[in-house]
Structure 1
């Protein structure tokens, strides 16, 4: 499964919020973008999606910025990917996503379905705390390592 750059950035944004020292202090979008070396306009767009999903809350006024709505150990990587990739991402074929379906399966459909189910299960148990606070997960320097 190849993830989009939006998913890579989305995970980076969520990691930045999880690693924020004071959970009561919202973090500005430009601060997240600068600290992670991400495009500010892309970070703002992703934060809007994450806010609409309920994973992130935005605050206005003097303490303007973004914060997680729950602790990092209650947010899964799967939840983040469902926001950035779409909720049907785990139901699409890895091999021929535009041509394969349940109604018209490809030759590798069965293998792909089993693989998708396993990946979905693992991403559903891997939490933001695991990758942001405990150091589990992967290297963050290159989206292809995700």
Structure 2
């Protein structure tokens, strides 16, 4: 549904959030390995997330990426928007340039309901909510358990 960059951004933010609860910062190498993403690709994703203010970084021997635990919760919508993925909610599912309620493609009305529901989820769910579900064992994201010290 989302691009690989967006998927990896969501996974990276979840990972950083989980480790942040332990007051740990993660290096690009640790994040790339944990989310199974090439290092340069991960660096570009983290640069985007940092530029958008979703993650922060510190330099030095104890440096790495982190999320300010006192900051306002981050919604999935913010991560998707940072990665320029909102088009999944706004463009025609069949790729038509002209598709609207007035001039619908063959699946417009069915997909519209799905997109509206997805939009609600992205705006409601926070990274912190999802990270809690992961650490509580309610959901599964294989890579969140791979990060070593």
Normalising by the smaller structure, the TM-score range is: 0.7 to 0.9
- 2:121 corresponds in structure 1 to 122
1:12 aligns with 2:11: yes
Q: Deviations over 1:21-62 (max 9, x none)?
A: 556543211111223332211111110111111111122234
Distance in 1, matches of 2:62 and 2:48, equals 20
Question: Could you tell me whether the CA contact under 8 Å between 1:29 and 1:44 is conserved in 2?
Answer: yes
2 CA distance for matches of 1:36 and 1:54?
21
Q: TM-score, normalised by structure 1?
A: 0.76
| Structure 2: gaps of 5 or more residues | 144-149
- Mapped pair 1:91 → 2:98: no
Higher relative contact order (CA 8 A, sep 6+): 2
Give the 5 Å matches for 1:59-78. 59-70=58-69, 74-78=73-77
Stretches (4+) displaced over 6 A: none
Distance 1:108 1:85 in 2: 24
Q: Which runs of 5+ in 1 are unaligned?
A: none
SS at match of 1:18: helix
Give the corresponding residue for 1:140.
141
Change (3 A) 1:12 1:78: same
